[in-house]
Amino acid sequence: MIQTTDQKQRLNTQNFYKYLPSLSSFTDIIESSNYYTVPDDWNLVITDVVNSTDAIRNGNYKDVNIAGGITAMAVSNLMGDMDYPFLFGGDGMTLLLPDSALPGVKDILFSIRELVKKNFGLKLRVGIVNVGELKRSGKDLKLCKLKISDFYNQAILTGNALDAAEALVKNDDSTNPYIVPLTHKITIEPDFTGFTCRWQDIPSHRGETVSFIIKANHSTVAGDQQLLKLILDQVGVFLGNDTEIHPLKEEGIQVDMSGNYFNKEATVHSGSRTGFQHFLRMIKIKTESIAVKLAIKTQWSFGPKVNGVELKELRKSQIVASDFRKYDGTLKMVVACDSRSRESFLNFLNDLYLQGKIYYGYHISDRALMTCALHENSVREVHFVDSADGGYALAAEKLKEQLRSRN
């Protein structure tokens, strides 16, 4: 059958991200010519935990991370691949998806909102804003794709459309057209196959694990990119090179045999905190985790591979496919450092803030936590990293305080 020009155009825009060339270095994101305009028939999908700071202060920081991260796994299984744009923000997720994916995505968002409310006692805000609509209102959105490893490509976003979309979604009016309505009727259930939550919090190899969020106070992309280059240069000066600042070290990654994280993973997969399905999932998780722990301890080769990786080598893939640093118009990073280097970097950031060039927030912990998403069919995976006890969510609160103080 001969395709019409319109059909060909829709096909091209539907797959435009998948076939974008990949950048090889994080510093390449500074070059504006590496970015591509997002098509009008794509959509920003936004989730975030309402009042996440209260939940974190009550000790539920891992629940907040799970609520923020599981959407990516369910959408990956819907799409049949993990090669689409998504970014984890600690207490929420930003995704970019074509119109053709929206029916299934709305079902997923509705179901996850209910799952999180029922089992974790959290309110998850979920919304969708069309990119073309944002462009017609004068907003801009571009992206590029950064190859983190053979397992993971990371989306990099720039432009003012994301801030505008977040503002639209966070309007809590019951008639808000951008929110997935409570009356939505689902036709498919989310598939969380590949979501795992089995690792202990990872102690910092330098004493501290710090989450930073840094936002430029510029009205032009060119100004943002110049400032980003300056900040990334000073990360190297004050905090260290990529190896030194990476918050994950192989020897620090250990299976959590306490059962606490097992229970959370089983809850997501079974849809309940109790019951027979939850019990069966717990047995499965514990059995697999014992095998992983034994393989790591003995360095024997046995058992099934995970995404093509032997059990004894799993910790290496966690590190190379982690998202400890990202950019979506704000620079977000989780780094290992010592108190002296952190203070020096914060002094540098504060000088930029006093000059009116940036806003920033940070959260200090002594360990990182990791939530994993592995797509079994495409052998893609990503390991979402944050600092423990609040991470990005509490860093965002500090940033918002600066924004409020200047307005």
What would the pLDDT profile of 212-251 be if each residue is shown by its tens digit?
999 998 765 566 788 999 999 999 999 999 999 999 999 9
The pLDDT of residue 7 = 40
Alpha-carbon radius of gyration of the chain: 21
pLDDT, tens digit, 9 for 90 and up, residues 120-134: 999 999 999 999 999
The pLDDT of residue 280 = 96
The helix/strand/coil state of 285 is helix
The pLDDT of residue 84 = 94
pLDDT, tens digit, 9 for 90 and up, residues 68-92: 999 999 999 999 999 999 999 999 9
Instruction: Report the 10 Å Cβ neighbour count for 20.
Output: 17
What distance lies between CA 131 and its chain's CA centroid?
A: 20
The pLDDT of residue 8 = 38
* Beta-carbon contacts of residue 28 (< 8 Å; ≥ 6 apart): 34, 144, 146
Q: Label residue 292 left, alpha or beta by phi (over 0 means left) and psi (-120 to 50 means alpha).
A: alpha
The pLDDT of residue 4 = 46
The C-alpha torsion from 217 through 48 and 363 to 229, rounded to 10°, is: -40
Q: Which of 258, 280, 260, 259 is nearest to 271 (CA)?
A: 280
Tally of domains within the chain: 1
Q: Where does the pLDDT of residue 1 fall: very low under 50, low under 70, confident under 90, or very high at 90 and above?
A: very low
Give the mean model confidence (pLDDT) for residues 131-155. Answer: 95
Angle at which helices 61-79 and 391-406 cross, to 10°: 100
Q: Where does the pLDDT of residue 312 fall: very low under 50, low under 70, confident under 90, or very high at 90 and above?
A: confident
Average pLDDT for the chain: 91
The pLDDT of residue 220 = 58
pLDDT, tens digit, 9 for 90 and up, residues 7-16: 434 446 888 8
| Residues 289-302 as b or e (16 or more Cβ within 10 Å = b) | beebbebbeeeeee
Q: Label residue 103 left, alpha or beta by phi (over 0 means left) and psi (-120 to 50 means alpha).
A: alpha
Q: Where does the pLDDT of residue 287 fall: very low under 50, low under 70, confident under 90, or very high at 90 and above?
A: very high
The helix/strand/coil state of 148 is strand
Domain of residue 124: give its range.
Answer: 5-406
The C-alpha torsion from 34 through 80 and 332 to 64, rounded to 10°, is: 170
The string of DSSP codes covering 160-208 is SHHHHHHHHHT---TT-TTBPPTT---SS----TTEE--B--EE-SSSE
The two three-digit tokens of residue 101, written as one number:
């994916």
Is there a contact between 53 and 401 (Cβ–Cβ < 8 Å)?
no
The span from the CA of 333 to the CA of 386, in Å, is 8
pTM over 0.95: no
The span from the CA of 143 to the CA of 164, in Å, is 16
The span from the CA of 335 to the CA of 342, in Å, is 10
Give the mean model confidence (pLDDT) for residues 142-158. Answer: 94
